[in-house]
Amino acid sequence: MASPLRVKICGVNSPAAYRAVVDAGADYLGFVFFPASPRAITPAQARALCAGQPSGPQRVGLFVDPTPAEITQALAQVPLDILQIHAPMPAIADIKSRFHLPVWQALGVTTAQDFPTPDAPADGYVVEAKPPAGATRPGGNAHRADWGLLADWGGEKFWLLAGGLTAENVAGALRITGAPGADVSSGVESAPGVKSAEKIVAFVAAVRG
Protein backbone atom coordinates (compact mmCIF):
# COMPACT_ATOMS: atom_id res chain seq x y z
CA MET A 1 0.00 0.00 0.00
CA ALA A 2 1.31 3.45 -0.87
CA SER A 3 2.27 5.74 1.97
CA PRO A 4 -0.41 8.32 2.84
CA LEU A 5 2.28 10.86 3.68
CA ARG A 6 2.45 13.81 1.29
CA VAL A 7 5.55 15.48 -0.15
CA LYS A 8 5.97 18.99 -1.49
CA ILE A 9 9.12 20.17 -3.25
CA CYS A 10 9.20 23.96 -3.15
CA GLY A 11 11.29 26.49 -5.03
CA VAL A 12 11.25 24.77 -8.41
CA ASN A 13 12.83 27.17 -10.89
CA SER A 14 14.39 25.17 -13.72
CA PRO A 15 13.38 22.51 -16.26
CA ALA A 16 15.72 19.98 -14.62
CA ALA A 17 14.19 20.58 -11.19
CA TYR A 18 10.68 20.33 -12.60
CA ARG A 19 11.47 16.99 -14.26
CA ALA A 20 13.09 15.67 -11.09
CA VAL A 21 10.03 16.49 -8.99
CA VAL A 22 7.71 14.84 -11.49
CA ASP A 23 9.91 11.75 -11.86
CA ALA A 24 10.28 11.37 -8.08
CA GLY A 25 6.51 11.29 -7.69
CA ALA A 26 6.07 14.21 -5.31
CA ASP A 27 2.51 15.28 -4.57
CA TYR A 28 3.07 19.04 -4.77
CA LEU A 29 5.45 21.27 -6.74
CA GLY A 30 6.00 24.80 -5.48
CA PHE A 31 6.80 28.03 -7.30
CA VAL A 32 8.12 30.94 -5.23
CA PHE A 33 6.77 34.30 -6.41
CA PHE A 34 8.85 36.36 -3.99
CA PRO A 35 11.85 38.25 -5.42
CA ALA A 36 13.90 38.17 -2.19
CA SER A 37 14.17 34.38 -2.35
CA PRO A 38 17.09 32.70 -4.12
CA ARG A 39 14.41 30.40 -5.58
CA ALA A 40 12.28 33.23 -6.97
CA ILE A 41 10.57 32.78 -10.29
CA THR A 42 8.29 34.99 -12.38
CA PRO A 43 4.86 33.86 -13.57
CA ALA A 44 6.17 33.89 -17.13
CA GLN A 45 9.04 31.58 -16.17
CA ALA A 46 6.67 29.28 -14.29
CA ARG A 47 4.37 29.18 -17.31
CA ALA A 48 7.28 28.05 -19.48
CA LEU A 49 8.11 25.26 -17.02
CA CYS A 50 4.50 24.07 -16.99
CA ALA A 51 4.24 24.00 -20.79
CA GLY A 52 3.72 20.48 -22.03
CA GLN A 53 3.10 19.19 -18.50
CA PRO A 54 -0.67 18.63 -18.30
CA SER A 55 -0.43 16.24 -15.36
CA GLY A 56 1.82 15.52 -12.42
CA PRO A 57 2.13 17.11 -8.98
CA GLN A 58 -0.33 19.77 -7.94
CA ARG A 59 1.18 23.22 -8.50
CA VAL A 60 1.45 25.52 -5.51
CA GLY A 61 2.18 29.24 -5.82
CA LEU A 62 3.89 30.85 -2.84
CA PHE A 63 3.24 34.57 -2.28
CA VAL A 64 4.32 36.99 0.46
CA ASP A 65 1.77 39.66 1.44
CA PRO A 66 0.43 39.68 -2.12
CA THR A 67 -2.01 42.17 -3.58
CA PRO A 68 -5.03 40.70 -5.40
CA ALA A 69 -3.50 42.01 -8.64
CA GLU A 70 -0.32 39.99 -8.10
CA ILE A 71 -2.25 36.78 -7.65
CA THR A 72 -4.51 37.58 -10.60
CA GLN A 73 -1.50 38.16 -12.84
CA ALA A 74 0.09 34.88 -11.78
CA LEU A 75 -3.09 32.88 -12.29
CA ALA A 76 -3.50 34.37 -15.76
CA GLN A 77 -0.24 32.70 -16.74
CA VAL A 78 0.24 29.67 -14.47
CA PRO A 79 -2.25 26.86 -13.80
CA LEU A 80 -1.96 26.87 -10.02
CA ASP A 81 -3.94 24.39 -7.94
CA ILE A 82 -3.18 25.84 -4.50
CA LEU A 83 -2.14 29.24 -3.12
CA GLN A 84 0.42 29.29 -0.28
CA ILE A 85 0.36 32.66 1.43
CA HIS A 86 2.59 34.45 3.93
CA ALA A 87 0.05 36.94 5.31
CA PRO A 88 -2.18 37.55 8.35
CA MET A 89 -5.48 35.72 8.79
CA PRO A 90 -7.72 38.53 7.44
CA ALA A 91 -5.77 38.50 4.18
CA ILE A 92 -6.15 34.72 3.95
CA ALA A 93 -9.92 35.04 4.22
CA ASP A 94 -10.01 37.73 1.53
CA ILE A 95 -7.86 35.68 -0.85
CA LYS A 96 -10.08 32.63 -0.39
CA SER A 97 -13.20 34.63 -1.20
CA ARG A 98 -11.64 36.23 -4.27
CA PHE A 99 -9.93 33.31 -5.97
CA HIS A 100 -11.87 30.18 -4.97
CA LEU A 101 -8.77 28.03 -4.69
CA PRO A 102 -7.46 26.14 -1.66
CA VAL A 103 -5.32 28.50 0.44
CA TRP A 104 -2.54 27.28 2.70
CA GLN A 105 -1.16 29.73 5.22
CA ALA A 106 2.60 29.72 5.74
CA LEU A 107 2.78 29.52 9.53
CA GLY A 108 5.78 30.27 11.75
CA VAL A 109 5.53 28.85 15.27
CA THR A 110 7.57 29.29 18.42
CA THR A 111 4.99 28.70 21.17
CA ALA A 112 1.54 27.16 21.41
CA GLN A 113 0.07 30.66 21.18
CA ASP A 114 1.11 30.70 17.51
CA PHE A 115 -1.22 27.84 16.61
CA PRO A 116 -4.33 28.84 14.65
CA THR A 117 -7.81 28.23 15.95
CA PRO A 118 -9.92 25.52 14.29
CA ASP A 119 -12.19 28.13 12.70
CA ALA A 120 -9.31 30.04 11.05
CA PRO A 121 -9.96 30.59 7.32
CA ALA A 122 -6.97 28.74 5.84
CA ASP A 123 -7.57 25.35 4.24
CA GLY A 124 -4.21 24.11 5.45
CA TYR A 125 -0.81 25.16 6.73
CA VAL A 126 2.87 24.89 5.93
CA VAL A 127 4.47 25.00 9.38
CA GLU A 128 8.03 25.98 10.22
CA ALA A 129 9.96 28.00 12.78
CA LYS A 130 9.56 31.75 12.88
CA PRO A 131 12.35 33.53 10.97
CA PRO A 132 15.50 34.27 12.95
CA ALA A 133 16.48 37.81 13.85
CA GLY A 134 17.75 39.71 10.83
CA ALA A 135 16.18 37.37 8.27
CA THR A 136 15.16 38.95 4.98
CA ARG A 137 12.45 36.36 4.29
CA PRO A 138 9.41 35.42 6.39
CA GLY A 139 10.05 31.74 5.71
CA GLY A 140 12.28 29.34 3.85
CA ASN A 141 15.21 30.00 6.17
CA ALA A 142 16.00 26.30 6.82
CA HIS A 143 15.39 26.67 10.56
CA ARG A 144 13.84 23.70 12.31
CA ALA A 145 10.65 24.17 14.25
CA ASP A 146 10.21 22.67 17.71
CA TRP A 147 9.06 19.21 16.68
CA GLY A 148 7.95 18.34 20.19
CA LEU A 149 5.75 21.43 20.30
CA LEU A 150 4.13 20.43 17.02
CA ALA A 151 3.49 16.93 18.36
CA ASP A 152 1.39 18.51 21.11
CA TRP A 153 -0.59 20.49 18.53
CA GLY A 154 -1.44 17.87 15.97
CA GLY A 155 -3.47 20.22 13.80
CA GLU A 156 -7.14 19.83 12.86
CA LYS A 157 -6.60 20.71 9.19
CA PHE A 158 -4.16 19.41 6.63
CA TRP A 159 -0.61 20.62 7.20
CA LEU A 160 2.93 20.07 6.02
CA LEU A 161 6.01 20.23 8.21
CA ALA A 162 8.75 22.48 6.81
CA GLY A 163 12.04 24.03 7.87
CA GLY A 164 15.46 22.40 7.98
CA LEU A 165 14.30 19.06 6.60
CA THR A 166 16.55 16.68 4.67
CA ALA A 167 16.37 13.09 3.51
CA GLU A 168 18.32 12.18 6.64
CA ASN A 169 15.98 13.69 9.22
CA VAL A 170 12.53 13.85 7.64
CA ALA A 171 11.34 10.38 8.65
CA GLY A 172 12.14 11.08 12.30
CA ALA A 173 10.55 14.53 12.09
CA LEU A 174 7.31 13.09 10.75
CA ARG A 175 7.24 10.39 13.43
CA ILE A 176 7.71 12.94 16.20
CA THR A 177 5.28 15.57 14.95
CA GLY A 178 2.62 13.35 13.43
CA ALA A 179 2.54 15.66 10.40
CA PRO A 180 0.73 14.22 7.37
CA GLY A 181 3.50 15.38 5.06
CA ALA A 182 6.64 17.40 4.50
CA ASP A 183 7.67 20.46 2.50
CA VAL A 184 11.30 20.90 1.51
CA SER A 185 13.32 23.42 -0.48
CA SER A 186 16.91 24.07 0.59
CA GLY A 187 17.22 20.51 1.91
CA VAL A 188 17.21 19.18 -1.67
CA GLU A 189 19.63 21.72 -3.13
CA SER A 190 23.28 21.50 -4.12
CA ALA A 191 23.60 25.31 -3.77
CA PRO A 192 21.10 28.05 -2.83
CA GLY A 193 18.35 27.94 -5.42
CA VAL A 194 19.82 24.97 -7.32
CA LYS A 195 17.84 21.76 -6.94
CA SER A 196 19.56 18.37 -6.91
CA ALA A 197 17.68 15.57 -8.65
CA GLU A 198 19.43 12.98 -6.48
CA LYS A 199 18.42 14.77 -3.27
CA ILE A 200 14.83 15.15 -4.46
CA VAL A 201 14.56 11.42 -5.12
CA ALA A 202 16.15 10.61 -1.76
CA PHE A 203 13.81 12.96 0.10
CA VAL A 204 10.65 11.58 -1.48
CA ALA A 205 11.85 8.04 -0.77
CA ALA A 206 12.61 8.90 2.85
CA VAL A 207 9.08 10.23 3.39
CA ARG A 208 7.39 7.37 1.58
CA GLY A 209 9.64 4.72 3.13
Q: How far, in Å, CA of 143 to CA of 159, rounded?
A: 17
Three-class DSSP labels, the chain:
CCCCCEEEECCCCCHHHHHHHHHHCCCEEEEECCCCCCCECCHHHHHHHHCCCCCCCEEEEEEECCCHHHHHHHHCCCCCCEEEEECCHHHHHHHHHHHCCCEEEEEEECCHHHCCCCCCCCCEEEEEECCCCCCCCCCCCCCCCCHHHHHHHCCCCEEEECCCCCCCCHHHHHHHHCCCEEEECHHHEEECCEECHHHHHHHHHHHHC
Domain-located, residue 159: yes
The yes-or-no verdict on residue 31 having pLDDT over 80 is yes
Task: Give the chain's length.
Answer: 209
Question: Which CATH number do you get for residue 180?
Answer: 3.20.20.70
The residue with greater pLDDT, 202 or 145, is 202
The yes-or-no verdict on residue 11 having pLDDT over 60 is yes
Q: What is the dihedral of CA 34, 187, 193, 44, to 10 degrees?
A: -50
What is the crossing angle of helices 170-177 and 197-208, to 10°? 40
Domain-located, residue 79: yes
pLDDT tens digits, one per residue of 101-137:
999 999 999 999 999 998 999 999 999 987 655 555 5
The yes-or-no verdict on residue 2 having pLDDT over 70 is no
Average pLDDT, integer, range 58-85: 97
Lowest model confidence (mean pLDDT) among 90-99, 141-150, 172-181? 141-150
Q: How far, in Å, CA of 116 to CA of 122, rounded?
A: 9
Give the number of other CB atoms < 10 A from CB of residue 53.
14
Host domain of residue 23:
6-208
The dihedral sign for the CA sequence 79, 41, 82, 178: positive
The yes-or-no verdict on residue 16 having pLDDT over 70 is yes
Asked if 194 and 39 touch (Cβ cutoff 8 Å), the reply is: no
Residue 1: pLDDT band (50, 70, 90) is very low
Mean pLDDT of the chain: 91
Q: What is the pLDDT of residue 209?
A: 85
Lowest model confidence (mean pLDDT) among 45-59, 87-101, 139-153? 139-153
Q: What is the pLDDT of residue 137?
A: 57
Domain-located, residue 43: yes
Residue 55: pLDDT band (50, 70, 90) is confident
Nearest to 36 by CA among 108, 94, 86: 86
The yes-or-no verdict on residue 12 having pLDDT over 50 is yes
**Number of folded domains that form the chain:** 1
Domain-located, residue 1: no
Q: What is the pLDDT of residue 138?
A: 60
Residue 143: pLDDT band (50, 70, 90) is low
The residue with greater pLDDT, 83 or 209, is 83
Average pLDDT, integer, range 25-42: 95
Domain-located, residue 108: yes
Q: What is the pLDDT of residue 144?
A: 84
What predicted TM-score, i.e. pTM, was given to this entire model?
0.92
